[in-house]
Amino acid sequence: MSSFWSKNPRMQAKINQICALIDKRVAVRNPAIETAVVDLSTAGGKYLRPAFFYLFSEFGQEESVDEDKLLKIATSLEILHMATLIHDDIIDDSPLRRGQETIQSQFGKDVAVYTGDLLFTVFFELILESMANTPYMTINAKTMKKILMGELNQMHLQFNQEQTIRSYLHSISGKTAELFRLASKEGAYFGGADGKIVALAGRIGFNIGMAFQILDDILDYTADQNTFNKPVLEDLTTGVYSLPLLFTLQKEPTSFKPLLAKGKAITLAERQLVSQKVIDLGGIEASRQLARRFTEKAIIDIKQLPKIKAQKQLLQLTDHLLKRHI
């Protein structure tokens, strides 16, 4: 279990409840699948999407809320995230996730596919039980489609040296930022906040999600594997050209072409050479500047929220996740 929330016992208690509900809902007559889900749920993930959900639920105006309903929605967000991670690892053939063997690496791709599919069914069960008669059934369906379209856009652009920064931003807005937006909006809505705060929450979540993904892509070039908890420079092998590389491709496309033209055959030494070029040509700093812009937008909006404890916690969380890294 991650120690990320150790200084926030109230949030840690909610995360523990989510883990317990996940364990309960994935009980099937297949030990490999049960083990796979439990291992992933306790492997050190930060549970950021449920955390944003709960923080924004604090801005509601109702005196009492249905805690069981909130728990199911918060769990649905983490389960949807977990399902997409499992399927991503299958597609990328990734050996590590959160510092541990991926499900497809440990149990095989068949178990990994079934595990991801099981999580999608549990996700639908939870939202049907908690929001069947609300607009958020439709919003969840549309969000799932946006996440998939983001992944499809990324796949379509694999090994494409002509792709633009705009196409990259479009991809990450779907595959990452939309789920942060959904978590934040749902928290405000089901916590009983007014429409203005719900809209503000969605905007904050989206901008935080954009900055979060850009910083994650920067880490692919700057982190060592022990601290990053997954293989570094993996995106180059799978043909996913993220923001730091795209900025430098704009500046000096010819110096990268011979290396990137090797596609999946690119060696570790060649990937390290690409990484050094990206750093030397300012790709990291340019990416940080763009992440900073999204972060600043989020902070401006957070400061417009009511001055309650949750607002301060949102500012602290944004600073911890994003601001201090850029």
- CATH classification at residue 32: 1.10.600.10
CA distance 249 to 157: 15
Longest dimension (CA), the chain: 63
pLDDT tens digits, 282-292: 999 999 999 99
Asked if residue 220 is part of any domain, the answer here is yes
For 20, the domain range is 9-325
What span, in angstroms and rounded, lies between the C-alpha atoms of 210 and 150?
Answer: 12
In a domain, 184, yes or no: yes
| Residue 67 lies inside a defined structural domain of this protein | yes
Q: Is residue 15 part of a domain?
A: yes
Positive or negative torsion for Cα 292, 297, 300, 302? negative
Q: Does 30 reside within a domain? A: yes
CA distance 220 to 206: 22
Band of pLDDT at residue 2, cut at 50, 70 and 90: low
The partner residues of 96 in beta bridges, in order of sequence, read 101
**Number of folded domains that form the chain:** 1
Residue, of 101 and 98, whose pLDDT is higher: 101
Q: Is-above-0.85 flag for pTM?
A: yes
In a domain, 177, yes or no: yes
Q: Please indicate, yes or no, if residue 48 is contained in any of the structural domains.
A: yes
Amino acid at 174: G
Instruction: Report residue 55 as tokens.
Output: 């923080």
Contact assessment for residue 72 and residue 129, using Cβ atoms and an 8 Å cutoff: yes
Q: Is residue 3 part of a domain?
A: no
Q: What is the DSSP string of 198-267?
A: HHHHHHHHHHHHHHHHHHHHHHHHH--HHHHSS-TTHHHHHT---HHHHHHHHH-HHHHHHHHTTGGG--
Do 171 and 157 form a contact (C-beta atoms < 8 A)? Answer: yes
Give 139-168 pLDDT, tens digit per residue.
999 999 999 999 999 889 999 999 999 999
Per residue in 64-74, pLDDT (tens digit) is 889 999 999 99
